Amino acid sequence: MRGRVTDPVFPAPAWIGLGANLGDARAALAGAVQAMERLPGTDVLRVSSLYRSAPVDATGPDYLNAVAALRTALAPQALLQALQALEQAAGRERPYRNAPRTLDLDVLLYGDQSIATPTLTVPHPRLWERAFVLRPLAELRPGWATPEQLQAVAGQRIECLGAW
């Protein structure tokens, strides 16, 4: 991970949620982290532990999840488009809402910006409802999620698998 937190070229970090529950999910997530590192003007600063979680509002096998902190010169919409291209390259299909997937990459936060466009909402609209997002995000940003916010998702099945 090449990024330097103090590098003035990069704006505030973007926080990306990673998930997969089809095929070799661990390899898909590792490949996604490597691919994000190759995006123009982007450095992967940190990646959380790997988590296994039950699908939420969906069916199918358990997911593997993580969160990555990026420094990027890409604007939010350009970052979203780049992440969607990585999903497609990994064989992502969208036959219906919350379908099982080979790779899911979500822009959770982009600095301290609030964004609401037809294709991108930041902070991610379901961030506070998902243990598979809050737990790895809290690992990378201790104190960011309150105990009450973490308690609100405590009933969701999630297991920290540790380092990759």
Write b or e for each residue in 10-38: b if 16 or more Cβ atoms lie within 10 A of its Cβ, otherwise e: bbebbbbbbbbbbeebeebbbbbbebbee
Query: Per the structure block, which two tokens stand in for 109?
Result: 């936060």
22 domain residue, yes or no:
yes
Distance (Å, whole) CA 128 – CA 87:
23
Catalytic residue (choose from 43, 106, 130, 135):
106
Catalytic residue (choose from 104, 126, 135, 157):
104
What pairing do the DSSP bridges indicate for beta strands 63-72 and 158-162?
Answer: unpaired
2 domain residue, yes or no:
no
pLDDT at res. 101? 86
5 domain residue, yes or no:
no
145 domain residue, yes or no:
yes
Give the CATH number for residue 136: 3.30.70.560
Catalytic residue (choose from 26, 71, 94, 101):
101
126 is catalytic: no
pLDDT at res. 54? 92
Please give the C-alpha separations between residue 51 and each of 31, 88, 107, 143, in angstroms, as whole numbers.
Answer: 16, 23, 18, 19
Select from 149, 116, 32, 122 the least CA-distant residue to 82.
32
Q: CA triplet 159, 161, 162: central angle to 5 degrees?
A: 130
6 domain residue, yes or no:
no
7 is catalytic: no
Q: How does pLDDT run along the chain (164 residues), one tens digit per residue?
A: 433 334 445 556 899 999 999 999 999 999 999 999 999 999 999 999 999 999 887 778 999 999 999 999 999 999 999 999 999 898 777 656 666 788 999 999 999 899 999 999 999 988 999 999 999 999 999 888 999 999 999 999 999 999 88
1 domain residue, yes or no:
no
Catalytic residue (choose from 43, 71, 92, 135):
92
DSSP codes, 94-144: -SSTT---S-EEEEEEETT--EE-SS-EES-TTGGG-HHHHHHHHHHSTTS
pLDDT at res. 58? 75
Q: What is the total count of domains within the chain?
A: 1
Distance (Å, whole) CA 148 – CA 59:
27
4 domain residue, yes or no:
no
43 is catalytic: no
DSSP state of 62: P
pLDDT at res. 56? 82
Range of the domain at 61: 14-162
41 domain residue, yes or no:
yes
57 is catalytic: no
pLDDT at res. 5? 39
